[in-house]
Structure 1
């Protein structure tokens, strides 16, 4: 059996929807020779989010020092065993066929992202307003979009070959936008595809990290973007490509 490792960071207080996340993962149908594992890492040492998870041998749960989501995800990556890596937020819901489409796409390319549907607090949904066309992503598309402050995808849908993620150092040590950083780094060294079929319900709620006004403090937010763009630029200028 081959394995796709689903990487989720969680913290005490941010775990109230993780039961729904698990159910959506449990219902995924994979090709016959594939299985999933779920590497859940707590940003902190309370152990409380683990109480919301069932007993399932496919789940591993670890705790660690508070260090924010990028470090937390990279710790989960270290114990993953899959050929492929897929990110999944602790408050999101996978849609039917999401992992199967990732697997099929990653037979052709080193990385991919997919469309998502916003899930609002009142239960209403809305598709992504700026989705690119499905298929191969033109070189530097997302890099230029970030420079223009108009990224057209949710980078939390990122999936890739594990060796590529490891070669890039996992999630860049930032206070946020770490999935965008990994997306731009992967785009700089390898071709990818956009899957037009939505893969997640992206839950919008007042307690999510990006809903905090502290997250969008101008200097903090600008520094994050500057750091991830600098890394992507350095990779592009190096001429290195992932084989």
Structure 2
């Protein structure tokens, strides 16, 4: 097998119990012939409360490192990523059946597309799901399109960065995830849209778990001074990248 997609997951103690659900959702994926997956799990911290929840599977690479939030953990995990494509999966989320196959179908057939996103359903504590009523049309997302929407809608994008699947070479060229206390995935999304074309898949590609312990439920996440500082640096970086020559794959 020569073709590989790497799934990267940042995890810390309170979310480790959900790794088993994430793992089951990965096992349920059916990939095209000749493709396989690698799951890189990187703990944000060096405590002993995560390792017992990591499944015993040779396709899983588990690592630990100094506490630095999810963006740093994912970027450190990139050191062990060997796939041509990198799929984001938070520890408390799940991939619906067919997600990876749909991502690969786009990225392997369209060399002009650098990344994919897809529809999201919020997974509520009672097991029910809630959708989002502002999904863009299925298909191509032109360079700069997500950034323009984000700036015009109070820094809210029309696609979800937790659904990203991206070409690894571009992810590395952009330096991985931003060094921010939160919104590091939004920072990556804005950098990607600033330099390349993406693709929106209308089928559901993520079950996004809502629970009290998730970082986006913490008061610090919505602290207005910090939030505006995060958005300011994300925007400045994306606009600087937008001014550069568009990234292109070598299709020769």
TM-score (norm 1): 0.97
Q: 1:131 aligns with which of 116, 129, 135?
A: 135
- Confirm whether residue 218 of structure 1 aligns to residue 228 of structure 2: no
SS at match of 2:130: strand
How far 1:64 moved relative to its partner?
A: 0.3
- Alignment partners' CA distance in 2, 1:7 and 1:216: 25
Q: 2:188 aligns with which of 151, 157, 182?
A: 182
Supply the RMSD in Å over aligned alpha carbons.
1.1
SS at match of 2:15: coil
- Alignment partners' CA distance in 2, 1:85 and 1:232: 21
Trace 1:29-178 onto structure 2 (pairs within 5 A).
29-107=30-108, 108=110, 109-148=113-152, 149=154, 150-178=156-184
SS at match of 1:56: coil
Number of corresponding residues? 243
SS at match of 2:16: coil
- Alignment partners' CA distance in 2, 1:233 and 1:98: 31
TM-score (norm 2): 0.94
- Confirm whether residue 237 of structure 1 aligns to residue 238 of structure 2: no
Deviations 1:166-198 (A, max 9, x none): 011000111111111111111111111001111
- Alignment partners' CA distance in 2, 1:206 and 1:154: 20
Whether the 8 Å CA contact 2:25–2:96 is kept in 1: the answer is yes
How far 1:240 moved relative to its partner?
A: 4.4
- Alignment partners' CA distance in 2, 1:50 and 1:69: 17
How far 1:129 moved relative to its partner?
A: 2.1
- Structure 1, unpaired ranges of 5+: none
- Structure 2, unpaired ranges of 5+: none
